[in-house]
Structure 1
Amino acid sequence: MTKASENREQRVQRDKRAPRTHREDREQRGQRGQHGRRGRQQKKRGPGSARGRRSANPLLGRRAMGVAKQALLEAEPGHIGPYIGSQEIDEFSVVHRFASDIAGYEGWQWQVVVARAAGSTHITISEIALEPAPKGSALRAPEWVPWEQRLRPGDLRPGDIMPPAFNDERLTTNPAQAAVENTHIMATSRTAHSKAGTTASLDTAGTGRHYLSDKGLFQAQQRWREGENGPRSLFAKKARAFCAGCAFFIPLATPDLQHGAEFGVCTNALAFDAQVVHKQFGCGAHSEIAAVEVADIADNTPALPFDDERPIYVS
């Protein structure tokens, strides 16, 4: 080995043992940082990440949000709040949501549906709607209820048609199961009860004559007992005498019959005229109230007259 080659080998070994300069350290650290950042970016922008979907679907980007807001400003200027977010319906349609700034619509939000054709980045507007937020204080319409479940006593008006339900448990077509034996109904045809001048039969369903079932009668008696004309009502509690001893009370049935013995119809025009009342119901218009009042007055001290002009001092 020549002397020149020996000196060159010694310099190489010395350079390997010599400490790195600050510049070399920064360069090496920068290379490692770039590799790390590229790796993290590739990991974040994978096809399954939110950023990856946003970059892949133009409807999720800022440009789509701007198009949605511009369309909303043209439709409803001055009633748009902050941007809330977006929801991807599918690859070709996305919903962008904005808060509503309309008085009386607290908790509502604007929904703008943007769309694009397959293979295109051109953004179009499909729909603009004002909808209540999924959660919040927005007023909502009640759940839809079928009409037969919405009906309440007093809803029927002249000319209205309100047929019984197909499976109405209050009725039966078997005369042997009838709660009350209505001989006049059994002996009369369906057509005979139709309005005068009409030829159509009322029996349009072909099920035959209906009769009140035991359950229908039981439900009616329960309503009458617990109603305003029942024995536990306020009128009954304050009554001087019961309806059973009133001349205006007409029983619905004789006491020896199974049904109707505890109810009757009031015939007093100044009281509960033409209403079904319980025999233990009562009111101040009882036919025998005069005799009762005379006895009470003899035992009670008359009340002092009230002076409506007397001043009242409040401390």
Structure 2
Amino acid sequence: MDLARSVAAEVGRPEWVGAPLDPEVEDTRLVTHYFTCLDPAYPGWTYAVTVVRASRAKDVTVNEVVLLPGEGALTAPDWVPWKERLRPGDVGVGDLLPVEEDDERLIPGYAQVPDSELDAEGVDQQMVWELGLGRRQVLSETGREQAAERWYNGESGPRSPIATAAPARCATCGFLTPLAGELRQMFGVCTNEYAPDDGKVVSLDHGCGAHSEVRTPVSKNDPAVPVVDELGYDHIVFDDTAELELVSSDS
């Protein structure tokens, strides 16, 4: 016990080694002693000192000294691979985002054909241009589903505050340009420069106040016609001593 405490004090400071906790027998002649850590920077941690005595030896030696987190200890978050840490907008100017060859969001943009129909590089150019428009890979069904779910549940979907307050849906707006392929059944691109989603993908049931059918409201109230009183009279005061009374011709 004393040896373990002294070693813990050498690793930290004597005033940081607190009360001893229950030791743990790891194996024959192998014991780990625990001490509360009083270092203000490590609340909830404990010093763990493992001591051992070799067979037929009289002296006990130190095997390992570490700080271990306890209940309520402040620890670093679990490590997350960089690919899972990425968020929209993280890729900036000059940044490169490698794509794995087995990315489930992509499939080949051409079909496998007999070797006799391939070009010098082993690629069926006709199929490339018909299906992939010159691209080696195109969006897979999984990729389309993930994109559709992300867009539909985002700010450009039907549940955003601006969509719920819109006078009409994007499906009836003249500024909507539908997408190509299967995604055109649910999405299009807004082309109204004054709309908040200009140049962005929006769902057909999205909407905003810049809808093409919005018109300036027409006032239904006609201007009031002035009424001339020909029966009454007015008092006109010129000064403190004179007053002129005007009486209508019918009086």
Given the alignment, which residue of 5, 10, 24 partners 1:87?
24
Deviations 1:295-314, CA, capped at 9 Å, x for gaps: 5x769xxxxxxxxxxxxxxx
Aligned residues: CA RMSD: 3.1
Q: Return the offset for 1:272.
A: 1.5
SS in 1 for 2:63: strand
- Post-superposition Cα deviations, 1:138-194, rounded to whole Å, max 9, x if no partner, equal 2333333333333333333333333333432221126359xxx98487464x7xxxx
- Contact 2:16–2:39 at 8 Å: present in 1 too? yes
**Structure (1 or 2) with the greater helix fraction:** 1
Please give the residue correspondences for 1:1-315 in structure 2 after superposition, counting only pairs within 5 Å. 65-75=1-11, 76-91=13-28, 93-133=30-70, 136-173=71-108, 175=110, 183=129, 186=132, 188=134, 209-253=136-180, 258-270=182-194, 271-289=196-214, 291=215, 293-294=216-217
**Structure 1 runs (4+) greater than 6 angstroms displaced:** none
Q: Which amino acid aligns with 2:151?
A: W
User: Is there any run of 5+ residues in structure 1 with no aligned partner, and where?
Assistant: 1-64, 191-208, 300-315
Q: 1:102 to 1:275 in 2, by over 3 A?
A: same
How far apart, in 2, do the equivalents of 1:96 and 1:258 lie?
Answer: 65
Give deviations 1:29-84, integer Å, cap 9, x for gaps.
xxxxxxxxxxxxxxxxxxxxxxxxxxxxxxxxxxxx10111122233221121100
**How many Å apart are 1:288 and its aligned residue?**
4.0
Query: Which AA in structure 2 matches 1:115?
Result: V
Structure ranking higher in strand proportion: 2
Cα distance between partner residues in 2 of 1:129 and 1:284: 63
1:97-155 CA-to-partner distances (Å, cap 9, x unmatched) read: 0011122533211111223444222233333221112xx22233333333333333333
Identical-pair percentage: 41
Q: Distance in 2 between matches of 1:225 and 1:110?
A: 52
Distance 2:192 2:92 in 1: 26
Residues 176 and 218 of structure 1, relative CA distance in 2, 3 Å threshold: farther
Code of the residue aligned with 1:132 in structure 2: it is: P
**TM-score normalised by L of structure 2:** 0.68
Superposed CA deviations along residues 234-272 of structure 1, whole A, max 9, x for unmatched, are: 21110123223434322224xxx6441432112334422
Tell me the equivalent position of 2:227. none
What is the CA–CA distance in structure 1 between the aligned matches of 2:84 and 2:111, rounded to whole Å? 29
TM-score normalised to the size of structure 1? 0.55
Separation in 2 of the partners of 1:276 and 1:258?
Answer: 14
Question: CA–CA distance in 1 between the matches of 2:217 and 2:35?
Answer: 77
Q: Distance in 2 between matches of 1:216 and 1:242?
A: 26
Greater radius of gyration (CA): 1
Distance in 2 (alpha carbons) for counterparts of 1:94 and 1:234 = 63
One-letter amino acid of the structure 2 residue matched with residue 98 of structure 1: F
